[in-house]
Structure 1
C-alpha cells in the first residue's frame, strides 16, 4: 500500500513538472551571468533582467544557435513563449538542445540605447545522472552498503549460534542419554522379577548342604592291649 502511494506521488510530481513551471535556484557566475539549472523535460521560465521602467522588451537571442525569439521572427512557438510586457521566456519540455546562453534585449523608451542581460541555462539529462555522480549520494550509498553488510554478518552469526546450540551439542547429549538407557536396561535384566516387598520376603533361597565326614583321629581310637585274652581263644582251637 505504501509503495503504491509513493509511486502515485512520483507520477503526479512528474506530470505537474511538465506543465507547471518549476522554480529553479538562480546561480550568479563570476562573469555576472545568471545561471539556471533545469531538469530535462521540465518547463522553465527565464526572467528578462533587462526589462525595466526605462527599457522595453524587444526579443530573446539564443546565442548558441543564433535563434531570435520575438515579434516578426520565425521560431518554434510550441517550444518558446514570451511575455510581451514582462519579456519573460517560457521554454516547454527543455532538453539538451535548448541548453546555452540566452540574451534578453530591451530598448530604451527614450533613445536608441539597448540593454542586454544574459542568462545561461544548463539542462540535466536525467536526475539519475546527477544522483549517480553526487558526492553526498555516493556517501550515503556506501554507508547503506556497510550497514547492510554488518546486518548480514550479524544475522549469519546469530544463525550459526542457533545451529551450534540446537544441532551440535544436543547430539552429544543424546548419546549420553542413550548410554544411560542401556545401563538401566542392563540393571533390569539382573534385578528380581518382582519389586514388591512381600514377594521379596516370600522368596526362599535353597540351601546347599554338604555333608562333611569327620575322619577319626588316632588319639580317639580305643586300642585293646590285653594280648593274652586274645591269644587264649586262638590256642584252644
Structure 2
C-alpha cells in the first residue's frame, strides 16, 4: 500500500510535520529548556520557524508566497495589538518572540495544504464531524473542570461564525485543532500565559490557561489573509469559484 495515497499518510504529510515543529520549537523556548540547557533557547526556535517559513516561501507557488506574506503582516499586527496593547496574554520574556508571527503564517499554510489533500477532501464530511465532536468535548471539559467561561463562549462563536463559510469549514475546524495543540503545549511549557479572567480585566469572564476557543481570534488572521488575496486576485478567484460551482453542480 502506498501510504501517501491514504488519509493517514496525507494527514502525516501535511499536519504531522507541523505538530513536530510545534513541539520541538516550543520546547526550545520553554522555561525548562532555559533553566536546564541553554538560557536563550528562544533564538533557536526563532531560527527554526523562520527557516521553515522561508523554505515554504521559496518552494511554494505564487499563491502560497503571497498568502505567507499577508499572514506574516497580519500576525505581527495582531500579536502587538492583543499581547502588548490589550494584555490578552503575555510571553515568558515579556516580548513578542520573532517566531510567533512567522509561526502563524506557517500554521496557516500547513492547514491549507492539509485541506487540499485528495483523501482529506474525499472524507471531508467525516473529518468535519470528528473534529466538531472533539471540539465540543474539549470545550465542555475546560468549562466544567477549569471554569473556562471565556473559552466556551469563544467556541460557541466559532461554530456560529462557521455557518457563513460551509465550504471552508474543514479548514477552520482543522485550524481550531492545531491551535488547541499549540496553546496547550505553549502554556504547559511556560512559553506564554493567559490571565485567569479575559484580558485580565473582565471578572465576569473567567478563563483557563489557555482558553479553549481562542482559535476564534486566529480566524481574523485567516479571514484577513484570504480576503486580501481574493481582492488582489479577483479574476483568478472568480474563475476558481466558477470551477468549484461547476464541480459541485455535477456532484
Shorter-chain TM-score tier: under 0.3
**Structure having the higher Rg:** 1
Tell me which protein shows more strand as a share of its residues: 1
The TM-score with structure 2 as length reference comes to 0.23
Tell me which protein shows more helix as a share of its residues: 2
